[in-house]
């Protein structure tokens, strides 16, 4: 589907399957959260990065009700990259970053979530608590 057609739709689902801290499945599509960089889960012999399981669990918590996602583009892996909201949060992407369990992926978001990350850092949430010691 061309990017222009993709951005005109909204994906919707209830309690989507969550793969990791920045990827879920909604309306039959793999969705990568726009502007969010969560720690990687264990892959083969590579151990999980710190806070990877906590980030995944936070995304599960944030998406337990109705979820909507507005696509921005497709990434090189064919996933829909999207801004999402739920009955739990008006901005799932920002809430995950605000939790301190994920960071802003500035390369793509260009500072859109800088305020959410600064809030997590100043409150020493998640990974910011560990680095504040």
By annotation, the residues acting in catalysis are 32, 40, 79
Contact 97, 113 (CB under 8 A): yes
For 21, other C-beta atoms within 10 Å of its C-beta total: 28
Burial of 15 (0-12, 13-18, 19+ CB in 10 A): middle
Hey, which residues does 14 pair with through a beta bridge? Answer: 66
């Amino acid at each position: 589907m061309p990017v222009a057609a993709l951005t005109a739709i909204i994906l919707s689902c209830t309690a989507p399957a969550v793969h990791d801290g920045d990827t879920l499945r909604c309306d039959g599509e793999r969705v990568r959260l726009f502007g969010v960089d969560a720690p990687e889960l264990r892959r083969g012999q590579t151990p999980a990065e710190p806070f990877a399981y906590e980030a995944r669990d936070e995304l599960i918590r944030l998406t337990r009700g109705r979820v909507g996602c507005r696509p921005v583009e497709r990434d090189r892996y064919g996933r829909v990259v999207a801004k999402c909201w739920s009955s739990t949060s008006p901005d799932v992407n920002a809430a995950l970053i605000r939790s301190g369990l994920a960071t802003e992926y500035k390369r793509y978001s260009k500072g859109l979530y800088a305020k959410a990350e600064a809030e997590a850092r100043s409150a020493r949430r998640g990974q910011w608590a560990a680095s504040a010691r």
